[in-house]
Amino acid sequence: MHTPSSVTRRQFLSGLFSLSVAGFLPRQNDTAIIVLPVDHTLRVNAFIRVLQEQHMRHDDVLHDEQKANLVYAFININPSYHLEEAIAVACSMSYQPTCHIVDEYVRRKKGEASRLPDHPVMRVKAWGVPDTYRVLIFREQINALLAEMTGSSLEYGKQICNEMMIGEVKENNFASFLCEKYQSFNRDEIKAIYDAVLYYAPTGRPYTWCSSMVDRADVLSERQKDGKVARPIL
């Protein structure tokens, strides 16, 4: 499935690094300087530090593309609580631009029309997963959606997702996996859900992991400000 955004890696990095806004993110690990609104600079620095520490555990580094995704999410979402910062962390785990995911989240938050695959059932609120306006940013959301649609467990939802990703479950037989509750869905509704899973699954990240990175950034920010930073509440 093709990404609706035509932004290339080079265009994304070039455009983001040239934004004319106040404040600069200090150079780290010989990477390009990223400009950022001053009120987010300290917070993004904290995230880059904790994410870089995690990458070092796997003999890796946090690449420019990943930092650019993090900054783009902060500039456009302007996160004010835990969940939205976890979304920014999820975006930072991709090497490809995730601006289309961020833009869709912002559109839906504003109540604007969806441009990516969407359906009301994708809220899956009964499963206790984060509410991201039906943008399936986290793996738990995708597993919950498929568990709901098939009337099965989260583990089975994860299994179905994997089978869809490798082509074992195709669009023409996806309907056969739906439980009785959703047998009345028409072809367009089934296609919307199938397309959504294939679209979001490749970049889906575990919410628990992303949330823990936010917690670590909280601790670091609190230390930097002598404990004066209030922890965001979800």
Is the residue at 231 inside a domain?
Answer: no
Task: Determine the pLDDT at residue 199.
Answer: 95
Same domain? 140 vs 154 = yes
Is the residue at 32 inside a domain?
Answer: yes
Task: Determine the pLDDT at residue 96.
Answer: 92
**114: Cα separation from own chain's centroid:** 16
Sequence letter at residue 6: S
Note the pTM of the prediction, 2 decimals: 0.80
Task: Determine the pLDDT at residue 36.
Answer: 52
Is the residue at 191 inside a domain?
Answer: yes
When divided into structural domains, the chain yields a total of 2
Neighbours of 139 (CB within 10 A): 23
Whole domain around residue 20: which residue ranges? 9-93+207-224
Q: How far is CA 179 from CA 124, 148, 184, in A?
A: 15, 8, 10
Is the residue at 141 inside a domain?
Answer: yes
Is the residue at 104 inside a domain?
Answer: no
Same domain? 26 vs 83 = yes
